[in-house]
Structure 1
Amino acid sequence: MSEKKYSLELPEVARNPHDTYRKLRDNAPVTELSGRSSLGAVTLSRHEDVMRAFQTPEVFSSDPGAVDIGNTRPLVPLQIDPPHHRKHRKALDPLFAPQQMAKHEPRVRELIRELIDNVADEGHCNFHHEIAEPMPSTIFLELLGLPVSRVEEFLALKDGIVRPPARSMEERREMVNATGQEIYAVLEEVVDARMAERQDDFLSTILDAEVEGQPLSRDDVVDIGYLFFIAGLDTVSASLECMVAFLAQNPGHRQQLVDDPSVIPHAIEELLRYESPVASAARITAVDTEVNGCPISAGTRIHVLIGSANTDERTWDNPDEVNFGRESKKHIAFGAGVHRCLGSHLARMELRVALEEWHARVPDYRLAEGIEPRFSQGIRQIDNLELVW
């Protein structure tokens, strides 16, 4: 294991991590990064090693000890390993199948058009605040069954888990745990209301789902809701921001989408690969193991660098070239193995519709003068995405 410490926490590295990814793969593929968020964790950066971590949950477990996100029980199904994981995915996968997600496309298109209408004639906007955050957040709350009127409250709770303004690990732990209890209270209130009276939303559907012939427990439904709450209010927003930030700075690529909207699905896959909006995932070793000859003891937290794996020249041809005609689409921006992202079909649909509608109305845009996109760590949100046209 390399003794030289690398960091992904510096602002310039968070903005453009590819050079650091390359140095890690070449010089320290199994290492401990410097920085508060990486203390005590081993980082894997090569595609082969990342895939092994994703595909062998009996070694690299998704146990709750892998990451601290304020929950007191395992989040279903993310933090449950096989064989129990399989029965929960079997119950949930049909809810997120492509044909089910297609039913929600008209509402997504209606909402994104409303948001674009609010800014199209202004000649400028903060894309994060006015487009990328409200669109998927509203859709998610409507689908799950949480009140859209409380979106600002819920976004603040989500950020209290994902991006707490803590100055130390101890302070972070306290903030995250306190926020987690608030999220539980919100979800328990809504789940109890749905137990009394079903509505046309995911929580009601999940309450009626069965696992091996038995209904899910109240706690199971709350735990599923907790996972959706964290993922549904953040990842699509961050993905859309990464894509639009790239396109705002690369007019040749942007023009491809304007000239031929059929390119958009291919652009989404390539930008998911290159930008890897969810830059890493967490695991914990269930047994003693080794990676690239480096021994790793049981109970070690693992940082799996999705962004590095998606740009590993050992797997990809010309990985630093963004090519919307790239033949291979086997990126792992949504993870891999049994814990692959449950909501990937919803995310792809939302991203496609948003890019279609945005480029139809605002085809020629750029970053405002003096703006240097500010990427958050882990999930690469850009809160200062100021655009002009």
Structure 2
Amino acid sequence: MTVNDKLQADWEPKSDAVQRDQRAAYDEMRERCPVAYSDFLEWSVFRHEDIVRVLMDPDTFSNAASRHLSVPDGMDPPEHTEYRRMIVQYFQPERVDAFEPQCREIAAKRLQSLLGRDELEFIGDFAHWFAVRIQSASLGWPLEMCEPLRLWTQKNHQATFAQDRPAMAEIAKEFEGYVHELLQIRRAAGAQASDDITGSLLRQYVQGRPLRDEEIVSIVRNWTVGEVGTISAALGILVHYLAQHPDLQQQLRTQPSLLPAAIDEILRIYGPLVSNRRITTRPVEIGGRKIAAGERISLIWISANRDGRVFEDPEAYRLDRDPTANLLYGAGIHVCPGAPLARMEMRVAMEEILGHTTRIDPIPERPPTGAVYPGSGFATLPLRVR
């Protein structure tokens, strides 16, 4: 019998009450039951201090929590170290800077096609479209892949929330098929193959051998799931916040140099990524709860970044906070390697959005609808733009 056989659920993460306002629910859990058990997520950790402890102790809290190959997110040292060393090259400043003009062109053209309208449904009309389009562009995928990729991310989200294992397996197989086809095209082209990330991964070595196709699939899938969902959610959160705060909206138009810090602070308040997983390698006590070896743990980023023990007046927008306390991109050996790319993409998108508009307003009679786990932010976001 395991520890879990004796446990009663402390909360229900999939309940309507939680999904109606995830931020408020996680805030409540942080104060009422900072380490909580549920049938859906097993253990969840809500306090900033406890989450940092987990992040800084990968020997006790392993990243190998996935049932499937996950490169490098689901790996521990020393295996993780070698794969990550290979991957971080794709997020070096020169690569990010080289991609910025294309990213800006994608954002500007899309906005130009939309801004003749009085109203936008921002998530569908721009945020999700932009996230899919820039992900395809960064990987070197053809334009005709954007619509299948958009539909794939939606199906993946729905299956994850429902924990529909057969559907999740079929969706994973579908993505695998896309990547295998693109790899075959590049192999067939030989020296004439396009010089993009997908082709480059074919030339990478780990442990003295080329990457296997299943490893490339895993790398690209992890990037895609993380990139599309998080960038889309983040842009919705940012634009919604500015629509609610017109003075800040105008300040950022006139002082765009404030955008990088403003983006990080708004996303601290309204986190675009709900959680990541770990698995215990030994019995441990955290937050007064005893957890056995082999137990799954969810780190609730949104709650940690709103913890008043670390962030005074956590709901307030302030640019004088210690940026190192913000766990927007995690911390420790698994800190997000794609953070430089994500920051550039969000900054460029917001520069273009603010530059192409003079005013962004909410529509009171058509309020936004919230996203559900594993998503954050908004499912729909009607706005008036000028």
TM-score (normalizing by structure 1): 0.90
1:11 deviation in Å?
5.6
Task: Write the distance in 2 (CA, Å) between the matches of 1:22 and 1:383.
Answer: 21
What residue is the counterpart of 2:292 in the other structure?
Answer: 297
**TM-score computed with the length of structure 2 as normaliser:** 0.90
Map 1:6-85 → 2, pairs under 5 A: 6-9=11-14, 13-14=18-19, 16-33=21-38, 39=40, 41-65=42-66, 73-85=68-80
Match of 2:384 in 1: 388
> How big is each residue's C-alpha offset from its partner over 1:32-78, in whole Å with a ceiling of 9 and x where there is no partner?
24xxxx5261110011111122222222222243xx7xxxx411111
Q: Deviations over 1:76-100 (max 9, x none)?
A: 1111111100001111111111221
Equivalent of 1:182, from 174, 180, 184? 174
CA distance in 1, matches of 2:247, 2:158: 34
Alpha-carbon RMSD: 2.2
Given that 1:311 and 1:319 are in contact with CA atoms closer than 8 Å, whether structure 2 keeps it comes out as: yes
Partner of 1:137: 132
CA contact (8 A) 2:46 2:300 kept: yes
Unaligned 5+ residue runs, structure 2?
none
| Structure 1, unaligned runs of 5 or more | none
Question: Are the counterparts in 2 of residues 160 and 179 from structure 1 also a CA contact under 8 Å?
Answer: yes
**Structural mapping, 1:349-364, within 5 Å:** 349-364=344-359
Closer, same or farther in 2 for the Cα pair 1:271/1:380, shift >3 Å?
Answer: same
1:260-279 matches, within 5 Å, as: 260-279=255-274
1:215, 1:27 → 2: CA distance? 50
Give the SS at the match of 1:104: helix
Whether the 8 Å CA contact 1:266–1:325 is kept in 2: the answer is no
Superimposed CA distance per residue, residues 96-143 of structure 1 (whole angstroms, 9 cap, x where no aligned partner): 112210111111111111111112232221111221112221121122
**Contact 2:46/2:304, CA 8 A, preserved across alignment:** yes
Counterparts of 1:1-389 in structure 2, within 5 Å, are 5-9=10-14, 13-14=18-19, 16-33=21-38, 39=40, 41-65=42-66, 73-164=68-159, 169=163, 172-197=164-189, 198-376=193-371, 377-389=373-385
Code of the residue aligned with 1:46 in structure 2: it is R
Preserved CA contact (<8 Å) 1:47 1:309: yes
Distance 2:377 2:157 in 1: 11
Aligned mates of 2:142, 2:282 — CA distance in 1:
43
Residues 11 and 375 in structure 1, CA contact (< 8 A), matched pair in contact too:
no
Secondary structure (helix, strand or coil) at the match of 1:42 reads strand
Counterpart Cα distance in 2 of 1:321 and 1:252: 15
- In structure 2, give the amino acid aligned to 1:54: L
Conserved in 1, the CA contact under 8 Å of 2:160 and 2:168?
no
Contact between 2:179 and 2:217, CA under 8 Å: does it hold in 1? yes
Cα contact 2:13–2:41 (8 A) shared by 1: no
